[in-house]
Amino acid sequence: MAEYFPDRQRGFLGSFLEFGSISGFMLMVLLENIMGSAHFLSWGWRIFFLAAPLGLLGLYLRHAAEETPVFQQQGEMMKVDQEQGDNRPQVSFQQIVVRFWRVLLVSIGLVLTTNVTNAIPKESILYSPDIEPSASTSVATYNSGSLTLLFIKFFIGN
């Protein structure tokens, strides 16, 4: 869907996908703290299934949407290239690294930042037998790190 966004806003608007997953986990932790672990584990976890219609709507929209004009144009160009023989110059991985090293480093940094501040603490909070998530200061640390990451992604994407 990000392909439909204007070129100058594509990174910013595309960052809302990550915003959704991080804020969903933060909402789950907040809800567990409000309800208490016992209530959350007995019935509170079902609350999130109320969002299923939104997922079905998203699935429908994705399948109903036509491919972007740029994607269709690229597909047509590839067909023509295959018919006429591909005469475009081949670009090596080394040339990509040398020419676009800054973009490559920023991309690697964003992925590492996301994994370190999102996945690793979340996994250790959820699956560690020694941590009670509702009573842990790790949850607060994770949430503050996630909020910081969300704002960083908005500014970098913009």
Q: Which residue bears the tokens 């047509």?
A: 76
Tokens for 92? 């090596």
Q: What angle do CA 49, 154, 26 make, to 5 degrees?
A: 30
Q: Residue 47: its pLDDT value, please?
A: 87
Q: Which residue bears the tokens 């209530």?
A: 39
> Where exactly are the structural domains of the chain?
2-157
Q: What are phi and psi of 86, to 5 degrees?
A: -75, 110
**Global pTM value:** 0.51
Q: Residue 122: its pLDDT value, please?
A: 63
**Averaged in consecutive runs of 10 residues, what is the pLDDT profile of the chain (158 residues)?**
76 74 76 81 85 86 82 82 69 87 89 73 62 55 68 64
CB neighbours of 75 closer than 8 A, spacing ≥ 6? 67
Q: Residue 7: its pLDDT value, please?
A: 78
- What whole-number distance in Å separates Cα of residue 60 and Cα of residue 45? 25
